[in-house]
Structure 1
Amino acid sequence: MRYPVVLFDLDGTLIDSGPIIMASMRHASVTVLGQEPDEERVRAAIGGPGLIAQMRDLDPDRVDELVEVYRAHNEPLHATLESFEGVFDMLAELDRRGHRLGIVTAKRVATVRLALDRFPLLDDLTEVLVGAEDTERHKPEPDPVLEALRRLGAAPGDAAYVGDSPFDIRAAKAAGVLAVAVGWGGIHPDERLAAEEPDALVHEPGEILDLV
């Protein structure tokens, strides 16, 4: 096996959460600021340093209120989440082959748990979870990926990181792991992902099996 460790982003990579993220960002902006957010600007920031940074971009003076309203709207929507077709089959096959799997995300661990409650198999198949509170610096910095490797006792050369955003690709490359971009997330267009020069850009979960 070329890469014994395979780490994954969560939103837009394993779960189809783009729609609920966008709905909650719009709700927070309209409720708190009384205005529609710039959708393209919001999409471009998803997968980056995290929710607080996104809200600071909307209005630096009302970050706490924006975050509170967003979370109150977003957390119940996790009960409606769907996974991407073929993703869980791919994870199960990686597990069967003996790969060690993990999640590295900008979400708080408590919010990730809402998704894991929705998809218990995802919890069963992954060995490590690194969330927003686990590192001081966040994607696109390499720290979250490196923290996952530290917990697993693994070297960067033995690992791949799979994600749907430019921030994921940058973090993977900075950490020295195989950078795999996925084109099924529905948040970031292929051309933006390709501009980051990932080691691979895939459009079907099964393609990951051939890479690792």
Structure 2
Amino acid sequence: MIKAILFDLDGTLLDTHDLILESMQHAVREVLQKDMAPERLMAKVGQPLSTQMWDFTDDQKLHDELLRVYRAYNEVKHDGMVQPFDGVEHTLRALVAQGYPLGVVTSKRHEAAMQGLRLFGLDAYLECMIGSDDWPEHKPAPGPVAHGAALLGLDPSACLYVGDSPFDIQAGNGAGCATAAALWGMFPKPVLLAEQPDYVCEGIRDVPCLL
């Protein structure tokens, strides 16, 4: 029986697709002096940014410079390009009113994640927030999701983890949570179904219906 819900952030609560893609394009052009297909730039969204950058270079200095340039650009553009998906606040409010504790488990760094949550007041509905710098493992490893459940005082089997990437579903399944694939995010349905989520949701308003 599900007693709490954990959410991914980018592509699940917040629509950050265009911001991430534009920041990736800017960093690759500035540092590597090249253009790459959007599909390649976005292939590992859902894993820590540091992990993603190793797909574009095997040089430590270039890797670190890609991170620096991406983060600087992303910070400037963030507030003007990010929006919550339709129904997010309504759904979080309804879940809290029904007595479900909520949390976020993301591969984004803690403070960067909180920037987006605070921007729209979504942090007020959360009892925990785990970023990539809050736990030694990263999705698709199950550790961060299991840690989120522990912070809510629950076994992972009592939690639902909702995410839009295959790495989310892998992490949730590995932790022993029930998992829900968010089809409104950044990855196509077949990619998510291949990871065998327990549920598939067309929109975030479907989440309370699962409970």
TM range (shorter): over 0.9
Report what 1:111 is aligned to: 112
Ranges of 4+ aligned residues in structure 1 off by more than 4 Å? none
Residue 102 of structure 1 and its aligned partner are, at CA, apart by 0.2
2:210 is the alignment partner of 1:211:
yes
Q: Distance in 2 between matches of 1:90 and 1:83?
A: 11
Question: 1:133 maps to what in 2?
Answer: 133
Q: Do 2:7 and 2:163's aligned partners in 1 also have CA atoms closer than 8 Å?
A: yes
C-alpha distance in 2, partners of 1:97/1:77?
36
Q: Select the structure that is richer in helix.
A: 1
Q: For residue 176 of structure 1, what is the aligned residue in structure 2?
A: 176
Q: Is the 8 A contact 1:75 1:114 kept in 2?
A: no
Unaligned runs of 5+ in 2: none
Is 1:74 the counterpart of 2:74? The answer is: yes
Q: Specify the alignment match of 2:53 in structure 1.
A: 55
Residue 78 of structure 1: how far off its partner (Å): 2.0
Q: State whether residues 140 and 167 of structure 2, in contact with CA within 8 Å, keep that contact through their aligned partners in structure 1.
A: yes
Cα distance in 1 for residues equivalent to 2:124 and 2:44: 30
Superposed displacement of residue 191, structure 1:
1.1
| TM-score normalized with structure 1 length | 0.95
Q: TM-score, normalised by structure 2?
A: 0.96
Listed as ranges, the matches of 1:140-159 within 5 Å are 140-159=140-159
Alignment correspondent of 2:192: 193
Identity %: 41
Name the CA distance, whole Å, in 2 between partners of 1:138 and 1:25. Answer: 20
* Aligned-pair CA distance for 1:172: 0.5
Hey, what does 1:83 align to over in structure 2? 84
Residue 37 of structure 2 corresponds to which residue in structure 1?
A: 38
Aligned residues: 208
Q: Secondary structure at the match of 1:139?
A: coil
